Each structure stands twice: as C-alpha cells, then as structure tokens.
Amino acid sequence: MTTPDGDAPTNPRGSQLSDQPRLINVAYRLLGSLSEAEDVVQEAYVRWYRLSPQDRAAIASPSAWLTTVTSRLCLDLLGSARVRREQYVGAWVPEPIREPTEWPRAGGAVDPAERITLDESVHMAFLVVLETMTPAERVAFILHDVYRYPFAEVAEIVGRTPAACRQLASSARARVRAARTPPSPTAEQADVVRRFAAAFESSDIASLIALLDPDATVIPDGGGRVAARTHPLEGAETIARYLVGLLAHAPSGVRFRLRTVNGRPGLVGEQDGVVATVFSFDVAGGRIRRIWATRNPDKLRGWRDVAGTAAEQAPTGPPT
C-alpha cells in the first residue's frame, strides 16, 4: 500500500514510532474519538512488534502496513461502537480536540506532527455527518477522499471489491454534500462566538437570540456521567432562556474562554479552573446554527491541562 504522501515509506524501517501522529490522524477521523484512536494505534504497534524480525523485514512499507492494520482495527471497532452508542445515555457527540493555544493563536507555529491536523475533516459538523454512515462507508470515504488511497487498496482493508468501495465512497460523499452549508469566514466565526460568550455571561437573552439562528439546535453530551439534557434543544428563544437559566443556577467560579475546538472558534467552560464543558459551534451567515456541548468527563481528559496554561495568554471571561 502507498502512503498518503507518496509511494515511499515516510520513515526508515526500524523507526515506525514516527508514524504514530499520522496513524492517530487517520484513526481519529475514522472513530470520532481521540482516546479510541490512541488505543487502536497502540494495538497496531503491538501487532507490529509481535511479528518476527524476518516477517518485519519482508514488509516493503512498514508505514503502509501499520496504516492497513490501523484501518482494519477501526473498521472492526466501528461496528461495535454503533451498538455502544445506541445504548449511550443521551446524544453521542464526537470527542472534541484542541489546539494548544488560545484563539486566535498567540503566536508561533505548531508542528503538525504534534497534533491532529485541523482541516475540514475534523470539524465537528463534518464528524457528525460521518456518524450517519455505515462503518464501510466511513472507512472508504476517509481513506479515499481525505487520504487519497486508491480504491484497490481501500478494497483490501474493507473486504469489498474496488467497485463496491467506489460506490460506498460515492454514497458517503452525497451525505456530506447534503449536510454541508458554507461556513462563515473564521474571523467572523470568532467574533460571533466572542459575542455569544459575552451575552451568555451577562445573561442577555435578547443578544443571545440575535446571535442564534431561529432554528438553532443545542446537542448536549453528558454520557450519563454528569448532569446534562438527554435530548437536543431547538429554537433560538428556547435555547437562550435555557442557557441563562443554567448560568443562574451554576455555582460561582464559572469562567469561559475562547479556544480552538476542532479547528474552529469554540468555548471552554471552566469551574474553579477545571474544564467542565467544551462548546463547539456551527456558524453560518453570521449566526449560530448548532452548538455541541460536551460535558462527559471521559471526553474532556485532553482538556484538563489547558485551563491553567492559558491563564496568562487570555483574560478571564470572553475576549474583547
């Protein structure tokens, strides 16, 4: 199998650990869960090192071998994940991922090898569409459309013919096109989220309503681990009043920070310096269409170390 960046392995034999960030990138898009992606990649490496030295030496492209094993593990896991998510308490939202800096960036480039590559294929709205696909559709679409693998190679992973994989990707592509709406420019999104945070903190119902699309939806995810609605909330006024009611009953010490969530401006709600909620937004036409509020602590482990480190970079509350 070729690698996403060309025909040659991305690293010399014996240095396969350098493939780990790329493999996690692939697995996260396939699974929508960073923790599960890391587990899958770890299992792929376990299988690699269980091979005899002779078997490893016979593999022309270790990078491609690891990608194949990772993708097959993801395909197997997606089947069982569908069952688990049907039993999940409330709505299941993909695990949010973060940038290590405030939004906009405080300065300095981040090495892409050190984090998930934040292109369109990790935006929350995109990941939510992926959740509507069958496991085979999702794998075929991600490997071909995102990573540009030929259908002949995708077929080896999915266990279908190349023609069948082409049809799977086409079906998935149609789902993405049907759900896609042109997003607002990033600077405009950041401004809308800033104003939303300010209106939220000041309990300004009228301003919240003005910032929300009339048919806006809030999808909370507590996973049964913390207090959270188990069903989406719809309608601008209903959402605005609900949010203001939440804040009125929240304990003291709640703060909001504007942060990058899955490559787009989002909010982090902190309680006494501990991340309690991560808000992802879908902004189009200058208004918020959807809000995903992730509260399940299992999905916030990667955010626990950010609250304190950002304190000197950004003021308390929404940026001005």
In this predicted structure, what is the pLDDT of residue 106?
A: 34
Give the chain's domains with CATH numbers.
Answer: 16-87+135-175 (1.20.140.160), 186-309 (3.10.450.50)
What pLDDT shows up at residue 58?
Answer: 96
Determine the pLDDT at residue 181.
82
**CB contact at 8 A, 304 and 288:** no
As a whole number, mean pLDDT of residues 260-268 equals 94
1: pLDDT strictly greater than 60: no
CA distance 96 to 179: 20
- Taking residues 102-127, report their average pLDDT: 57
Using one digit for the tens of pLDDT, what is the confidence trace for 153-162?
Answer: 999 999 999 9
* pLDDT value for 183: 79
Q: Residue 205: pLDDT band by 50, 70, 90 thresholds?
A: very high
pLDDT tens digits for 2-61? 443 333 333 434 456 788 999 999 999 999 999 999 999 999 999 999 999 999 999 999
**Long-range contact set of residues 50-54: C-beta below 8 Å, sequence gap at least 24:** none
Per-residue pLDDT for 318 more than 70? Answer: no
Confidence of residue 304 (pLDDT cuts 50, 70, 90): confident
Per-residue pLDDT of 76-86, as tens digits, reads 999 888 778 88
**Residue 96 in this model has a pLDDT that exceeds 90:** yes
Q: What is the mean pLDDT of the chain?
A: 84
**Whole-number percent of the chain with pLDDT over 70:** 84
**Model confidence at 188, in pLDDT bands (50, 70, 90)?**
very high
pTM score, two decimals? Answer: 0.82
